[in-house]
Amino acid sequence: MDSQEVNPYELLALSLDATEQDIRTAYRQTSRKVHPDRNRNDPDAARKFHELTQSYELLLDPLRRLALDAKLRAKAARDERFKSYDNKRKNMLTELEERERAFKKAKTDQQRDEANRWQETEKIKDDGRRRREERENELRQREKEANRPHVDDDADAPSLDPLDTTIRLKYKLSTHPHLTTPAALAALLTQFGETDAESIVISSKAPKKSPDKPPKYVTALVPFKQIGDAFAAVCASGRADRGMDGVEAGWVGGKEPDILVWLKKKGKLSAQPMPSVPPSSTASLPQEQGQSSSNSPFSSFPASFPSQPSSGEPQASVGVDYEALTLMRLRQAERERMEREILEQEAAEGA
């Protein structure tokens, strides 16, 4: 029995020949003294009470008590022999016991160090395996990307609707009395790009409550040849420096065309108009790749999108064929539908 271990008999103040009743009586008496409730100021009270309880349970177990008694008797016999030794032999025995303890401790430390080294080695192996798998996956992904067929980014671009190049203007007749003809509107908007002057629709209606009075507001639908030019005109809505003071410009459908929404999402079109540039300087602006061919300073717009089909007469070199006649009829029907929409909107607004 090591010196560090607790002797249950000494803890309960009993001898080796103590009976079961002696053990119970000694436990009751000692537990009252060391109980934590009676020793609140003692930080070791809980540990002492735990050791007392463990000793009590050990002595009440016949098999465990027999093993303890045998160990105590062997220790007592060893101590007796040790007393009979001379000093030299005692010193040798003490030194031998210290060496044995040191050897056991060194062996335990070595085993613990070996276990730590093994765990560290396994961790390094796992990290190396994981990094190797990551590199292999990255190489496979790169190879897969390299072998993937090229997909055009513009393949998912929405189609251009016939009304995507048409804008809706609204202004007071008293403020702009000269804007009453398609030619006047085309002249005002030519700074943004070419318009289809023959297809411009102008509507003015007298107030509903005073039908005898002159019209107060004028509404016009203006088709541009290029959607980028229409976009520039909408960006200049209400700008006095462009002659649009009091002129509201918006999309005829009431919302931005799908193609513009797609271009902004792809980062191919700025969501804000460019700063104002005097009209005299627009002609000298360099035409950058991807911009509209018009001299509009209000936007940077891809030039690869189609123009609005012209509603004029076919070219003389081509001749009036079936396709041109069909196109002319469609344009005429579209103008009539747009006129009806303007009248319906004005009636709804009560203007």
pLDDT band at residue 282 using 50, 70 and 90 as cut-offs: very low
Residue 188 and residue 68 share a domain: no
Domain boundary among 40, 55, 84: 84
Domain boundary among 40, 62, 84: 84
Residue 296 has pLDDT above 60, yes or no: no
Structural domain count, the chain: 2
pLDDT tens, 168-225?
888 888 888 888 888 888 899 989 888 988 888 888 776 666 666 777 888 888 898 8
**pLDDT at site 208:** 66
A 10 A CB-CB count for 169 gives: 25
Query: CB under 8 Å to 160, separation ≥6 — which residues?
Result: 227, 257, 259, 305, 306
Residue 142 inside a domain? The answer is no
User: Taking a C-beta distance cutoff of 8 angstroms, is the pair 168, 250 a contact?
Assistant: yes
**Percent of the chain scoring above 70 in pLDDT:** 76
Global pTM?
A: 0.41
Query: CB under 8 Å to 168, separation ≥6 — which residues?
Result: 219, 220, 221, 222, 249, 250, 251, 252
Domain containing residue 72: CATH number: 1.10.287.110
Residue 273 inside a domain? The answer is yes
Among the residue ranges 55-59, 131-135, 218-222, the one predicted with the least confidence is 218-222
Residue 193 and residue 324 share a domain: yes
Residue 140 inside a domain? The answer is no
pLDDT band at residue 346 using 50, 70 and 90 as cut-offs: confident
Residue 229 inside a domain? The answer is yes
263, 266, 269, 270: CA torsion to nearest 10: 130
Average pLDDT over residues 321-344: 71
The helix, strand and coil proportions of the chain, stated in percent and rounded to the nearest 5, come to: 55, 5, 40
pLDDT tens, 242-258?
888 889 989 887 788 88
Domain containing residue 340: CATH number: 3.30.70.330
Residue 228 inside a domain? The answer is yes
Structural domain harbouring 271: 164-349
